[in-house]
């Protein structure tokens, strides 16, 4: 069995450790995994593509060409649009941070609020605005982009990232921000292992099943009273926090999942 692993060249450099783990894990399973970046094309006889980019158009093109993608393009499309993610959560009855699209600072009447580009990731392109002037700065900076507004939710800069492999929870981490309302580990926050309650696990599984996803992260804001609100879905999801909090290799588990998928479907 042979497959391709797709990254942008910049992300491939940043994720070299994960890429090496994926390749080594594939080799141990008698699978061939070739890295392709940017404009490179998958081999015509590739059985699958592990798609690690934010580009639903490209992934849809490769699906149309007959390749099995992990994750499929529809997952990429919804996960990389925060408003579509919110709409799906609302449809499924999963508690989520109230979200609406806005076209200008004039549409905002309550401060503080959080502004985000619909397709930003990694804690970038997010701003806590205390005034209309700060909101106008955000709209000027990201002119022409789709922007959403959310109320500022007090979570003590804490969220839960749930790593889903198919419909099963691979692990969960609590992320606590440092000197910021953002909790991203790559922005300097701290992480610790987190054990989900039965109801939390069910909500994460409901989201993954609806998406028909293979490997994603689902981020929930953790409120001071113990409740949580879905914030966003990450595809591709970074696994640094999972490596440091769990005795598991997400790369190895993903490659076993890929092989199992093909065996189950003949």
Q: What is the pLDDT of residue 209?
A: 98
Percent of the chain with pLDDT strictly greater than 70? 95
Both structure tokens of 130: 């205390």
Q: What is the pLDDT of residue 266?
A: 55
Q: Give the domain 155-254 fold.
A: D-amino Acid Aminotransferase; Chain A, domain 1 (3.30.470)
Q: What is the pLDDT of residue 124?
A: 80
Q: What is the pLDDT of residue 122?
A: 73
Q: What is the pLDDT of residue 256?
A: 98
Splitting the chain (266 residues) into consecutive groups of 10 residues, what average pLDDT does each group show?
97 97 98 98 97 97 97 97 96 96 95 93 87 96 96 89 98 82 56 96 98 97 93 94 96 98 80
* Whole-prediction pTM: 0.92
> How does pLDDT run across 219-262, given as a tens digit for each residue?
999 999 999 999 999 999 999 999 999 999 999 999 999 999 99
Which class would CATH give 2-77?
A: alpha beta
Q: What is the pLDDT of residue 183?
A: 45
CATH number for 100-151 (one of 3.30.1490.20, 3.30.565.10, 3.90.1150.10, 3.30.70.20): it is 3.30.1490.20
Q: What is the pLDDT of residue 92?
A: 98
Q: What residue ranges do the domains of the chain occupy?
A: 2-77, 100-151, 155-254
């Amino acid at each position: 069995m042979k497959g391709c692993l797709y990254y942008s060249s910049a992300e491939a450099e940043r994720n070299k450790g994960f890429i090496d783990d994926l390749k080594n894990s594939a080799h141990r399973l008698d699978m061939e995994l070739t890295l392709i970046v940017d404009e490179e094309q998958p081999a015509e006889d590739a059985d699958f593509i592990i798609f690690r980019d934010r580009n639903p158009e490209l992934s849809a093109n490769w699906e149309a060409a007959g390749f099995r993608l992990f994750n499929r393009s529809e997952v990429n499309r919804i996960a990389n649009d925060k408003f579509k993610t919110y709409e799906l959560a609302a449809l499924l009855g999963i508690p989520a941070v109230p979200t609406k699209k806005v076209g200008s600072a004039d549409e905002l009447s309550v401060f503080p609020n959080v502004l985000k580009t619909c397709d930003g990731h990694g804690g970038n392109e997010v701003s806590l605005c205390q005034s209309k002037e700060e909101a106008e700065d955000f709209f000027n900076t990201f002119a022409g982009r789709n922007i959403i507004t959310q109320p500022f939710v007090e979570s003590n800069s804490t969220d839960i990232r749930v790593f889903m492999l198919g419909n099963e929870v691979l692990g969960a981490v609590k992320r606590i921000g440092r000197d910021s309302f953002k909790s991203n580990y790559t922005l300097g926050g701290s992480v610790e292992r987190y054990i989900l309650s039965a109801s939390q696990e069910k909500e994460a599984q409901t989201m993954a099943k609806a998406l028909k996803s293979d490997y994603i992260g689902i981020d929930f804001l953790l409120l001071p009273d113990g409740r949580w609100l879905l914030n966003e879905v990450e595809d591709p999801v970074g696994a640094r926090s999972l490596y440091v909090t769990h005795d598991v290799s997400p790369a190895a588990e993903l490659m076993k999942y890929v092989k199992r998928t093909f065996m189950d479907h003949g």
